[in-house]
Amino acid sequence: MLHLSGEGGRGGSTPGRMTRAVPAADAGPMKNELLAIIGWVVGIQGALGFIGRTWFDRDWGLLHLWFTPPSALYLAMALVGIPLGVAADLARKKQKAARYRA
């Protein structure tokens, strides 16, 4: 599927302006950025909560301000969020390198 970029945008084209076809796959880098941010935030909150509760007898991070999650949830957040952030960052770097090679 292709999207047309350029001025005009209301169904017709503006006379004298060229439009170019842009593949819909260009949304990939934005998706990777968003997944990386979400992964890092969730992972760091999980790690802070688990470490704070385990070794310092109080929760760290922001999550404990709204509710008191169990230690297992903090650990699960860290174990899911950090790999998600790393994988999204690696995918973003791979796309960036492929774009410069092309």
The percent of residues in the chain predicted with pLDDT above 90, rounded, is 29
pLDDT tens-digit series, residues 3-18: 444 444 455 555 555 5
48 in Cβ contact with 60 (< 8 Å): yes
In this model, does residue 55 exceed pLDDT 50? yes
87 in Cβ contact with 33 (< 8 Å): no
Quote the mean pLDDT of the chain: 77
**What does the block give as tokens for 21?**
């076809």
DSSP 14: P
pLDDT attached to residue 91: 86
Between these two residues, 44 and 12, which has the higher pLDDT value? Answer: 44
Confidence of residue 1 (pLDDT cuts 50, 70, 90): very low
49 in Cβ contact with 70 (< 8 Å): no
Q: What is the pTM of this model?
A: 0.63
pLDDT attached to residue 2: 43
